[in-house]
Each structure stands twice: as structure tokens, then as C-alpha cells.
Amino acid sequence: MYIDRESALLNCITSTNASNIGDPYRGKVRDVYDLNDGTLGIVVTDRISAFDHIMRQAIPYKGQILNQLSNYSFEKVSDLIPTHTIDVPHPNVTIAKKCAPIPIEVVVRGYLTGHAWRVYRSGKRTLCGVHLPDGMVEHEKFDEPILTPATKAEEGHDEDISEKEILENKIVGSKLWKQIRKTAFKLFERGTKIAADQGLILVDTKYEFGLYNDELTLIDEVHTSDSSRYFYANGYQERLKNGEPQRQLSKEFLREWLIEKGFQGKDGETPPELPDQFRWSIYERYSELYEVLTGNSFEPKPVQKFDDTLEQIFSQYL
């Protein structure tokens, strides 16, 4: 399918304004509209973040890829837990149940990679209350997946937190946390199998939960390239043995690029500009994961006057 690259780079969805609804809550990636007492309109924009900072440049069609991949993955786990999805009327839009969010990001890790590796490399052997054994190398598989939660910050950085601290501070009750914990590992097991069937390794991922009519519900996104890290299974062991970088489909390459440019989200640091060629390479990686994981080709839907389209979509749910 032909894609007008120049037009795609110029017409990313960075912000939305459905004037018939009112101002949305703007997260790092999503604009969330309150449609009625029980329903949200979620727009997945083309914004991209790293180290809890939104980059000034957006990624063409990233929102469409994320939204459609998440919908695909929600369907694959809907027998394990109710999900927030009601409808996906547009590649960038999800109509969702309005849930009371649980302010914890539930991160499950199967491998010593990314943030876990950076902590380990610094000499620490405890992450979110979980003991990490000596003698491990980057990208090595844990004997069993570990759970490393993080607080869900309204602004600034999410912070690592232990399960003990969650319970002691009564952020989540003991009974509900047990259910969350059990469900997270079941989801990770399912995601691991889905990835393996497509020649991928689900390395780590984060889940977000809410309560809908007091029922635990999976919200936000699931098993996407924003919330998850994937390696190609083919050649993993050889690359691990030789200490070589893994072939991966995730945002880690963006984080690595930013680190090379001297940015890690620390106070006083300013994110560098993302060159157009690099932005396009990010789009290609997102598209590649969608196609590998789903087995379907990604066909972008050109977007023009998106706010008008959004108002028409949302008017059906008011």
C-alpha cells in the first residue's frame, strides 16, 4: 500500500478538540473524553513519550497502530478478565467503559532487560522488593517472571514500589491485590504464548486495571509496543551467549537513542528533536510489530480534519 510519507509526517495527530464534548483529559498518548455517566471516548494520538516526557515530534500513524493492536490483544485475553472496550469505531478511537482506575502500573518482567537491567547494572540486587540473583547478564531470562509495580503518577515520573508498600500504604486492599497479582501473571502467560506463536518473546509488559461496577477490569492498553517489549526468538540464545544486542520490537531503541543524545528525563534536561528520518523508522518498527504479532498487514487510514470526524463519532454516544 502506497503511503505519502511527507504528508504522513506533516499530519500527525498531536492533540484533539471535540468541541461538542468539552476538554479531554490529556495523558502522555491518549486524549480521554467523558461522553456520559458510564462511557469514555479514548483517542490514541500519535504522541510518543520516553522517560515520562512527551517528545515534541509525533510518529505517523502510531495511534492507529497502537489502538488496533491493543484491541486485537484485548480480544485475545477477554476470557481471563473483563476489558474496558465497548467499540472501536475508528482506527484512532476506542469507546470504553468508565472505570475507577487503580493507581498502580503492574509490570511483569520475564527477562533482565531495560529498567531492570539498568538497576541491576548499578549494583542493586532488589527491584520493587524482589531479590535479583547475582551473576545475571543483560537480557537473561528469570527462572520465573517477576512483578515490579510502579506508582501511576499524575505528573512527572512513575516510581517503583514494592507489593509490601502497596499494602502497607493501603493503596490497594489485600484481597483485590491478590486478584490483580494472579491476573497479571495469567495475562503475561497468555501474552507469552501469543508472542511465541509468532516467533517473538514477550520480554516484559505493564498492565493497568480499574473497577467497573466493582468488577476488576483491564484498561488502557495491553501487549502493545508502548506497554511491552518483544524480542525475536530466532537467534536469542546465540546473541545472549555472545553478549550481542537482541533484535527487539519496543520503545527501548528510542530510549537508547535519547540516552546517546544525553537525555534520560532528568531535571534540567530537554528532549532532543526527533529527525524526520528517525520518526519514520519508529513508524516502521511499530508497523512491523503489528504485522508480526497479528499476522495482518497494517493499512493506515489518512486523517484530515480529524476533530470534525471525532465530533461525528462521539455524537453517537452522547
CATH code, 101-249? 3.30.470.20
Q: Which residues contact 53 (CB under 8 A, 6 or more apart)?
A: 265, 271
- State how far the Cα of 253 lies from the Cα of 229, in Å rounded to an integer: 10
Mean pLDDT of 206-228: 96
User: In the structure, what pLDDT confidence band is assigned to residue 160 with cuts at 50, 70 and 90?
Assistant: very high
- Number of CB atoms found within 10 A of residue 178's CB: 12
- CA-wise closest residue to 291 among 198, 204, 196: 198
How many other β-carbons are positioned within 10 Å of the β-carbon of residue 36? 10
pLDDT tens, position by position, 251-263: 878 988 999 999 9
CB 184 within 8 A of CB 207: yes
Distance CA 193, CA 170 (A): 34
Range among 69-83, 246-260, 302-316 rated most confident: 69-83
Residue-wise DSSP of 138-188:
TTPEEEEEEE--EE--SSS---B--HHHHHHTTSS-HHHHHHHHHHHHHHH
What global pTM score does this model have? Answer: 0.91
Q: Where are the domains of the chain?
A: 101-249
